Amino acid sequence: MIAVAENGVPKPGPTKVWTTLITNTAYLTGLLTLEYSLRKAGSKYPLVALYTDTFPAEGHKALDARGIMKQRVEYLVPSTPKEYTNDPRFYDCWSKLTPFSLVEYERVVQLDSDMLVLQNMDELMELELDAPELNGNGDRVFAASHACVCNPLKKPHYPVDWIQANCAFSSQHENPDAAQEIGAPPTTGLSIPNGGLQVVNPSKGIYDKIVAQLATSATSSYEFADQSLLGDMFHGRWVALPYIYNALKTLRWEGVHDAIWRDNKVKNVHYILSPKPWDEVREGLQKSQDPSHVWWIEMNEERIKDEELLGKKDEF
| CATH code for position 25 | 3.90.550.10
- Cβ contact 110:20 at 8 Å: yes
Cis peptide before 202 (omega within 30 of 0): no
Q: For the residues of 68-123, what is the DSSP string, one character each?
A: -EEEE------SSPPP-TT-TTHHHHGGGGGGGG-TTSSEEEEE-TTEEE-S--GG
Q: What is the average pLDDT across 19-27? A: 96
Q: Strand pairing partners for 17?
A: 108
Q: Strand pairing partners for 144?
A: 240
Q: Please, what is the Cα angle at 287 between 286 and 288, to 5 degrees?
A: 130
Would 315 be classed as within a structural domain? Answer: no
Quickly state the pLDDT bin for 285 (edges 50, 70, 90): confident
> The domain containing residue 31 runs over which residues?
2-294
The number of domains in the chain is 1
- Which CA distances in Å does 84 have to 20, 149, 155, 279? 22, 18, 14, 22
Would 301 be classed as within a structural domain? Answer: no
φ/ψ bin of 42: left (φ > 0), alpha (ψ from -120 to 50), beta (otherwise) = left
Would 46 be classed as within a structural domain? Answer: yes
Quickly state the pLDDT bin for 10 (edges 50, 70, 90): low
φ/ψ bin of 236: left (φ > 0), alpha (ψ from -120 to 50), beta (otherwise) = left
Would 228 be classed as within a structural domain? Answer: yes
In whole angstroms, what separates CA 22 from the centre of its chain? 11
What pLDDT is recorded for position 155? 93
What pLDDT is recorded for position 4? 43
What pLDDT is recorded for position 5? 44
Q: For residues 25 and 258, give the distance between their C-alpha atoms in angstroms, rounded to a whole number.
A: 33
Would 304 be classed as within a structural domain? Answer: no
Report the amino acid identity of residue 268. N
Would 149 be classed as within a structural domain? Answer: yes
Q: For residues 295 and 298, give the distance between their C-alpha atoms in angstroms, rounded to a whole number.
A: 5
Least-confidence region, from 144-153, 233-242, 306-315: 306-315
Burial tier of 42 (Cβ tally within 10 Å: 0-12, 13-18, 19+): exposed
- Cβ contact 1:104 at 8 Å: yes
Q: For residues 295 and 84, which has the higher predicted lDDT (pLDDT)?
A: 295
Q: Strand pairing partners for 268?
A: 117
Would 91 be classed as within a structural domain? Answer: yes
Residues ≥6 apart with Cβ < 8 Å to 291: 252
Residues ≥6 apart with Cβ < 8 Å to 212: none
Q: What is the average pLDDT across 260-289? A: 91
Would 314 be classed as within a structural domain? Answer: no
For residue 13, pLDDT beyond 70:
yes
